[in-house]
Structure 1
Amino acid sequence: MRSLTESDIRTSFVNCSKGEAQRLSVPRDLGQLPWADLDFLGWRDPGAPDRSCLVAEWRGGLLGVTLRFPPSRRGLRHRSMCSLCLTTHPGGGVSLMTARKAGAAGREGNSVGLYLCTDLACSLYVRGRKVPESGGRLEESLTLDQQIARTTGHLSAFLDKLYA
């Protein structure tokens, strides 16, 4: 992913108002992020503990979405798998995140959801740059490039649903 500015990020959101996009907390360390290892930029909003944000390159442009998720109530013995990167996590390491659809459908209350790594570090897990708490990723026969393509394909399919 190419490096982004705060302005790039704020103008990319499609499922919230311009005012809401201006009030979102944007990561302060944009200059230090490992952009070459990111398939998308994802972060939790420290001002709203039930909200995360995701910005991705999609169809030749940037697409930003706000995501909501409930607080985790799962025990540490329960493991869940992220639908994007197929990384397993114990407890609350995976959350069902929902995004309001873009346009009229979103204003009518329609949304789409996906189970995602709660910290949105999918790109780093796939590349082995970050290891999930208490464990690792499942052994795969796919090459790293194939795993990255699968992850970005899953992300693109999710983003496509925002406009369906």
Structure 2
Amino acid sequence: MFWLFVNRLRRYLDSQFHVPLKYLASWEVQPRSKRIHYHIILFDFPYIPVQQLSHIWKNGYIFIEKIDKVDSDRRGSYIAKYLTKNIEEYGVKLHKVKRFFKSQNLKPINEKHFLLDRGAFDKDSAEGLVFESIYFQKRYDSLKQEWYSNKVHYYIYRDQYNLNKKKG
């Protein structure tokens, strides 16, 4: 169902606007009905009336809104909440099921990941801190066959080059 929509939307964008489809999507199970619904972020997407999108979707209700209601430095965490939302409720059967999809034409983000010793790291000594958050990540231990929580300290830094580029 989702892939049929992606293919129809890709063909529509190509024929009407001559632009590629760029997206990031995740699925979620509705709490009461247990039906799957999708959250899709469309990048560089032209205006298409909701009636036309509904016709392309062909599977009932759709809701679309701009993501600019969220500060640009926090959009990553806004999106991430849908990738991890209610993950422990899906249980053992679905812990290996892919939770998100993306188009192959998305540019990779230029970021670096560091795993640091909390005692040796002073977040205030580094320049360019623009966002910080602490959350608990649900992980599945396949040997013990149980879920556990892992505390994550998440920081986003912009280097001086990017800060200067943004100003000027």
TM-score exceeds 0.5: no
TM-score (norm 1): 0.26
Highest CA radius of gyration, 1 or 2?
2
